[in-house]
Chain A
Amino acid sequence: MAITRTVAVAQGKGGVGKTSVTTNVAGLAALAGLRTLVVDCDPQGNVARDLGLEPGTGSPLLSALVSGSPLPITRAVRAGLDVVEGGPEVADLSGLMYARSARGGGNLAQSLHASLAAVADDYDLILIDTPPGEKVLVEAALGVAAAVLIPTRADDASLDGLARVAERFVVARETNPELRLAGVLLFAVGARSRRLESSVRRSIQSIVGNAAPIFEARVRHLESAAVDSRRAGMLAHELEGAAIEDRRARLAALRAGKAPADGLLVRNAEGLASDYEAVTRELLTRLAQIEEEVGAA
């Protein structure tokens, strides 16, 4: 039942980097020449914000899934990157689909599967961003994905969230036996706190055991970049270039004795961009590995 090359990014806890990881990995994969699609299954619709798009209502996705019409794909938001936008109305899916399957109709996972299967051949990689709650939406995403990537922050509440994904993972495996755990990814950890990081890695290991690798790569804590990113609709590697230009403009203004214009908050996004690049490398490598395993099974 799994749609190959499809990765759900899920975590029971909010604010652990699901959307940031989804959009940044998608942007880098597209840069690497993979035809990439992001599907935003979150009523918050933050994918659009991260990519610099006007936030949508979610209504086109809602009606596509309810009526089985083609997915509303916004094409080429970056070269090689397409998006299906979420938004508030996506929240209504739970209720609508519940009523429908109660009447003997298909469930949300089946609708999503049919919609994605129709376009899957056009993409080398499909990433699904999921909401923190909304059980039905998360289960639908896990019901069609080939792999799930679980970002987590270092705090205990986030680690508890791992347990919630694990439960949903087990449920999803019943209808989607091909689903694999891509791995757990540490998000927003202090760049210099190596000791904290290894302690968190040990905690995660004790929670997931050997079921999933903990990604070697992690995303460093860099709040200024996070704020700029959503404000300007730029991904980390785009901020990287913009920050260099911003610094130049600032210096030029100072030299000319003028007050520098309000620019970016981040001075240097290079480290964060490298982190996302390392995450993307690890994810792509892991997906190739999963494909081999599943293909051989």
Chain B
Amino acid sequence: MSTARHPNLEDAFAPSGRGAGLEGLLQPRRATQTTPTAPEPGEVMGEPAAADTPLERNKRTRRAAGNTTQASSGQALNVAAYLPPATLAAAQREKQATGEQYADLLARAFDDVDEQALRATFAPQPATSSGAGMPRRAVRARGAAGIQRQFRLTAEQRDWLDEQVRAYDAPSRSAFIATVLGLHFRTLTQQ
């Protein structure tokens, strides 16, 4: 099935990619800030150890490298997804419990979900015709109303995500993410 027949709903789910146009206006802070009362190394509150994911490390290395003017391909990108309340609540609990970033949680959820179930969610429902009227267009799961969350992905992770969106013929990244997490947490029916 080609994706071209379907309207791209990315904009509806993640309107206008807010924030994307703001990147690079202010460079990340250089790691060595000289303030008169610079803290003792032991005093600095770092990220909790559990949050030290490859993604985070990669980000910090990039910042520490201090190469500021160009976006490198390893740069973390924000991908917005609208999560229905039940899914969001489950994801937040899991994130709290494991200390994982949303991106890692998503990767794990994807490994866990049943491929058939995922495929079925995005398959078109049979077109309905009511009486003599024009048959209604086939509808598919498009994701649902929800609260926006940002997933910080590397360019590679995002490309991978886009591949899955195409492979499953999901209408948007947002819908795909919401569905994967919904299946993983079994909150899909509560939407």
Listed in ascending order, the chain A residues whose CB lies under 8 Å from chain B are 1, 3-5, 28-35, 52, 70-71, 73, 75-76, 78-80, 113-114, 117-125, 234, 237-238, 240-242, 244-246, 248-249, 270, 273-274, 277, 280-281, 284-285, 287-288
Contact = CB atoms under 8 A, between A and B. Distances in A.
Contacts of A52: 147
Of the candidates A79, A237, A285, the one having the most CB atoms from chain B within 10 angstroms of its own CB is: A79
Interface in B30-77: 31, 33, 35-39, 43-48, 75-77
A123 B149 contact: no
Interface stretch (B14-22, B108-116, B118-126): B14-22
Nearest to B148: A238
Contact of A70 (B16, B45, B78, B151): B45
A245 B142 CA distance: 11
B8 interface: no
Nearest to B38: A117
B134 interface: no
Nearest to A281: B22
Given A32-B19, A119-B45, A245 B146 contact: yes
A113 B33 CA distance: 14
Contacts of B144: 245
A122 B13 CA distance: 31
Contacts of B47: 122
Contacts of B76: 33
A80 B13 CA distance: 20
A52 B25 CA distance: 28
A76 B103 CA distance: 13
Given A124-B26, A124-B29, A78 B15 contact: no
Contacts of B152: 33, 79-80
B138 interface: no
Contact of B150 (A71, A73, A80, A246): A80
Contacts of A71: 45
7 closest pairs, A vs B, by CB?
Answer: A31-B19, A245-B145, A79-B150, A32-B22, A284-B25, A118-B39, A284-B26
A166 B152 CA distance: 40
Interface residues of B, number: 46
Interface of B: 12-16, 18-23, 25-29, 31, 33, 35-39, 43-48, 75-78, 80, 82, 95, 102, 144-152
B21 A281 contact: yes
Contact of B15 (A1, A33, A240): A240
A244 B38 CA distance: 47
A119 B15 contact: no
Contacts of B12: 241, 244
Contact of B149 (A35, A78, A122, A246): A78
Nearest to A2: B35
B35 to A, nearest CB: 5
A240 B18 contact: yes
Contacts of A121: 29, 31, 33, 44
A79 B106 CA distance: 14
Contacts of A120: 29, 33, 35
Given A79-B78, A118-B43, A287-B26, 14 more contacts: A1-B36, A31-B19, A33-B19, A52-B147, A76-B95, A80-B78, A117-B35, A121-B29, A241-B15, A242-B145, A242-B146, A244-B12, A281-B22, A288-B26
B150 to A, nearest CB: 4
A107 to B, nearest CB: 14
A33 B18 contact: no
Contact of B25 (A238, A273, A274, A288): A288
B138 to A, nearest CB: 17
B145 to A, nearest CB: 3
A117 B15 contact: no
B130 to A, nearest CB: 12
Contacts of B150: 30-31, 78-80
B172 to A, nearest CB: 12
A271 B152 CA distance: 26
Nearest to B19: A31
B51 to A, nearest CB: 8
A172 B154 CA distance: 42
B33 A245 contact: no
7 contacts: A31-B78, A32-B78, A78-B150, A118-B45, A122-B47, A277-B18, A281-B25
